[in-house]
Amino acid sequence: MGAATQHNSAALIVQFFIIVAVSLALYLPALALASSSPKEGAAEKPSSTIIVKDAVELQNTIKLANKLGFTTVLLMDGVYKISKTLVITGSHISIASFNGDRSKVIIRGNGMRKTKRVDNLIRVSGKYFSLDGITLEQAGNHLIQIAGEQDADFPSIRNCVLRDGFEQLLKVSYNRDTRIASDYGIVDNCVFEYSDGIGPQFYIGGIDVHGGQGWIVRNSTFRDIASPSKHVAEHAIHFWNRTKDTLVENNVIIDCDRGVGFGLTNRPNEGGIIRNNVFLHHDNDDPYADASIIIEESPNTLIEGNRIFQAHSYPNAIEFRFVETVGVIIRNNITNKKIQNRDDAQGTLEGNKLEVEINKIIRPETLRDRGVAF
């Protein structure tokens, strides 16, 4: 091969690699914002990932995401002060911290105070919404409201902090007439708390779910959901109004007026499991401290393996109430207060223990792992 031929071949190779480099330079940025297209015949739609760094970008991006669907919104570290609710109407919308540190990404509302207008940080009516690695705080109503009446199924709240809302921190509403509700939600590794050590009023709660089926609440911590006056606060975790098959497990509930509740008078629950949770209430002068686990009109519920220490004066650790509550199994719980049926409720009690000393009920490392002093 002559020198001229070798030179032409080398030139063609160089041109080829230049074309490839230019094509990649044009293609990769677009790929970062609107990621992979689905394989031929696949059910999933293309997904988008958008990075935001301030509150204005966040509001605008949520509007775009609702139109696109299948969008992940990643928040850079910072405080996002919002004055209007983030309204999620699209399906498969995710909001997450870019760096994965929930303490460094804060969505903050207008303040924890009474307000004449609805003042939620986030309202969700789309399916498959997810929130991951974010702190929410300071709202006049709820930090998150999931509109079950609009069939907002499969919500996921993971690795988040929900702090200081004037009403229930996570509210899941439903249509009592049609019984359309939000089903199959999950809350995992979250913190629900009031930073002043007590709530702003009695009409507060941690998770308040109406009508939903198949929810899971696990590995989360609830602190100081307690009323300062007038009436007892709602539960740290409450499922009622025809909820069904809820799993509440491996949570730590500290200094809350009421811990876990299934059902209420004329607002029943069906089945479900309350398992391997830890409840600690100090003798801290909370004026309305009550039982740690309460089920009302909740047949076929299993309460198992919970650890309860109440230093306040309320006499019962677990209560099951009303004639509709049948087929209940309460077993292998360790408490320092009684397990008590009321108003003709029926259940089977097996292997439960009554202990006086806290260190025979709760392991110190369980609390230390959640940042709670023993």
Region of 10 on the Ramachandran plot (φ > 0 left; ψ -120 to 50 alpha; else beta): alpha
pLDDT band at 24 (very low <50, low <70, confident <90, very high): very low
> Are the C-beta atoms of residues 299 and 328 closer than 8 Å to each other?
yes
3-class DSSP state of 363: coil
As a whole number, mean pLDDT of residues 1-30 equals: 39
Rounded to 5°, the CA angle 210-289-338 comes to 95
Q: Would you state the pLDDT for residue 196?
A: 96
Residue 82's closest CA among 129, 140, 36?
Answer: 140
Q: Would you state the pLDDT for residue 374?
A: 66
Question: How many CB atoms are closer than 10 A to CB 37?
Answer: 12
Residue 82 has pLDDT above 80, yes or no: yes
Q: Would you state the pLDDT for residue 31?
A: 35
pLDDT digits (tens, 9 = 90+) for 118-151: 999 999 999 999 999 999 999 999 999 999 999 9
The C-alpha atoms of residue 101 and residue 113 are separated, in whole angstroms, by: 27
Structure tokens at 40: 């031929």
Summary mean pLDDT of the chain: 90
The C-alpha atoms of residue 128 and residue 45 are separated, in whole angstroms, by: 14
The C-alpha atoms of residue 175 and residue 168 are separated, in whole angstroms, by: 18
The C-alpha atoms of residue 126 and residue 84 are separated, in whole angstroms, by: 18
Q: Would you state the pLDDT for residue 44?
A: 62
Supply φ then ψ for residue 93, to 5 degrees: -100, 130
As a whole number, mean pLDDT of residues 234-248 equals: 98
97 vs 74, 103, 105, 147, 269, CA distance in Å? 5, 10, 6, 24, 35
Give pTM, 2 decimals. Answer: 0.88
> Which burial class, exposed, middle or buried, applies to 315 when counting CB atoms under 10 A from its CB (0-12, 13-18, 19+)?
exposed
Rounded to 5°, the CA angle 207-374-261 comes to 25
